[in-house]
Amino acid sequence: MASNIGRESGEKMKGWRKALKSVGNWMAHKDKNEWLKDMRGMLSLMATVIATMTFQSAIHPPGGVLPPKDSGVECQNNSCPGQSVLAMVYPLDYKYFLYCNTICFVSSLAVCLLLVSGFPLKNRFFMWLLSIGMCVILSTLSLTYLFGTQMVVPDLLWDNILTMFGRVIVVWLVLLALIAIFLSLRLFVWILTKCIYRQSKVHQNPPI
């Protein structure tokens, strides 16, 4: 009786392993080494370019800065030469713009740091972390564009294109959710496969 139960559990375990293996093979890349090499190059390039863009948008904000006075640097009404013009006209929108721009900049630097730190790219969790980081970077970059555009576009024109921006944001959120689900599912399948493989090893070689 016990042997029959053991056989049934073993067959179920084999069935789960086959199913997870087929799903893992479907989600995996054919040439893993080449994919990792290309992925490292693309992530490094994208993170560097985005970090440069966000740095420039912070130093040279949309709308420009106050020019210096002819008589020298003078501050009037809490505004000094070199400060952002739109920060005084639209303080709330500029604050959101600066938040998103800073998060995007720091996230890009974090991805660059992880890529040059020597962490093994073959680790699935590390690649999942980098992919989620790039999703955060691209999302905050799109929000930076949104708030920056909102400040420089005239109000009359902005009211006409606001619906279009709303639709674009919805499409972006749906795409981002699908990618996040796919990445999380691939990580979950990898972890579950490892756990089942270890359990099968324990059953095959029970401790004496």
pLDDT higher than threshold 90 for residue 101: yes
Q: What is the pLDDT of residues 144-175, one digit of tens each?
A: 998 998 888 888 888 788 888 888 888 888 88
Which among 16, 98, 91 has a CA at the least distance from the CA of 55? 98
pLDDT at 5: 47
Buried/exposed 117-133: b ≥16 CB within 10 Å, e otherwise: eeeebeeeeebbbbbeb
Q: What is the pLDDT of residues 58-74, one digit of tens each?
A: 898 888 887 777 655 56
Burial of 92 (0-12, 13-18, 19+ CB in 10 A): exposed
How far apart, in whole angstroms, are the C-alpha atoms of residue 163 and residue 144?
18
pLDDT higher than threshold 60 for residue 204: no
Mean pLDDT for the chain overall: 76
Over residues 133-148, the mean pLDDT reads 89
